[in-house]
Amino acid sequence: MTREWNDRIDLRSDTVTLPDEEMRRAMAEAEVGDDLYGEDPTVRLLEEESAAAVGMEAALFVPSGTMGNEIALHLHGSPGEEVICEALSHVYVSEMGAMAALSGLLPRTIPAPGGLLDPMAVEAAVVTDGGYHSRTAVITVENTHNFGGGTVYGRPHLERILAVAERHGVPTHCDGARIFNAAVALGTSAAVLAAGFTSLMFCLSKGLGAPVGSLLCGSRDFIREARRMRKMFGGGMRQAGVIAAAGLVALRKGPARLPGDHEKAARLGRALAEIPGIVIDPASVQTNIVVFRVEPELVGGTVPPEGTAAAFLARLGEAGVLGGQIDATRARLVTHRDVSGERIDEAIERIRAVVGVAVN
């Protein structure tokens, strides 16, 4: 039986949240001006509060996280240089090859379990001599790591990577699309996790719940250059205060709601771990992302041509539970504000029904 559209439980991403009443009201009432003349007071306020939230000097409102990351990489490197990044990092696998297409940069990928880079592997990958080899432009980390399963870099781990960068005089960029999830998981602040990075991007449009927008943060000088690049990349916006207003609500109210998302993900992870054929260590669920492996037994015993993950997700979709695929065998479910705890329980029941586990 295929479920009605409005009965679906959408766990594809935390980007699917809809703006709430408070955001809609703030958008309607926003004071605006032409931001390219620096005259949109709502955008300016959002940029100031964002910089303060991550403990950096300045911030720039950009239409997407991808643009924020790509402006940063463009400014940190020159054509022919390398970007050190994890093998499943967003900057490498989910940005349309933009670092190469827009900036002439090469990804130097390092695979890491759970997406968290080993500082010694980073050290080994850094190239500074440049006699034959492509020089390292920037070291990137993703915190939390999306395809690694929402995993979190703690401060001591970051310190070791920052020390490598410092030793070689290489800048650092944090893809902090979900930096507030990381801060909540560690019981610390985004500013503590951002400290020492040359630049950091975070998204308003993920778990914080805004309809649109991300912030690129760094020093005042860096953000002045980033503003020029935003215009060059086509991201200069005019009366953007209309969307920045929703972003301000997200920045102020969003972080306090994230523990609920993490609790829902933990519950989902524990339930999935009990289903034969689903492989997940429930302790690996640290934030709002649940990644698990699908064994062939879940999809009829043989490996289908599209892979076990796609086949299983198709069956879940028919039961009205939407998820995403990471690779041939792994799937991802993401919790967020618009799916309540009861709906997560409903999703668990539907998953059990799909795989034929008795619902108790």
Footprint on this chain of ligand PLP (rule: CB under 6 A): 64-66, 69, 90, 142, 146, 175, 177, 203, 205-206, 214
C-beta of 47 vs 142, nearer to ligand PLP = 142
CB of 133 to ligand PLP, least distance (A): 27
CB of 296 to ligand PLP, least distance (A): 29
Choose among 64, 86, 343, 87: nearest CA to 214: 64
C-beta of 12 vs 206, nearer to ligand PLP = 206
CB of 247 to ligand PLP, least distance (A): 12
Q: Which two tokens stand for residue 42?
A: 């709502």
C-beta of 117 vs 351, nearer to ligand PLP = 117
C-beta of 111 vs 130, nearer to ligand PLP = 111
C-beta of 50 vs 308, nearer to ligand PLP = 50
CB of 227 to ligand PLP, least distance (A): 18
In this structure, which amino acid lies at residue 302?
Answer: T
CB of 263 to ligand PLP, least distance (A): 20
CB of 203 to ligand PLP, least distance (A): 5
Choose among 17, 13, 5: nearest CA to 318: 5
In this structure, which amino acid lies at residue 275?
Answer: I
C-beta of 12 vs 90, nearer to ligand PLP = 90
First-last CA distance in the chain: 21
**Which residues, in sequence order, are CB contacts of 219 under 8 Å at separation 6+?**
56, 57, 58, 198
Query: Do strands 199-203 and 172-175 pair parallel, antiparallel, or not at all (unpaired)?
Result: parallel
- Tally of CB atoms within 10 A around 344: 21
C-beta of 285 vs 319, nearer to ligand PLP = 285
C-beta of 69 vs 151, nearer to ligand PLP = 69
Cα distance between residue 26 and residue 2, in whole Å: 38
Summary count for the chain: helices (H), strands (E): 13, 13
Cα Rg, the chain, nearest whole Å: 21
CB of 90 to ligand PLP, least distance (A): 3
**Can you name the residues that pair with 141 across neighbouring β-strands?**
174
DSSP assignment of 42-109? HHHHHHHHHHHHHT-SEEEEES-HHHHHHHHHHHH--TT-EEEEETT-HHHHSSTTHHHHHH-PEEEE
Return the residue nearest ligand PLP (CB atom).
65
CB of 20 to ligand PLP, least distance (A): 19
Cα distance between residue 28 and residue 241, in whole Å: 10
**Which residues, in sequence order, are CB contacts of 232 under 8 Å at separation 6+?**
none
CB of 336 to ligand PLP, least distance (A): 12
C-beta of 51 vs 203, nearer to ligand PLP = 203
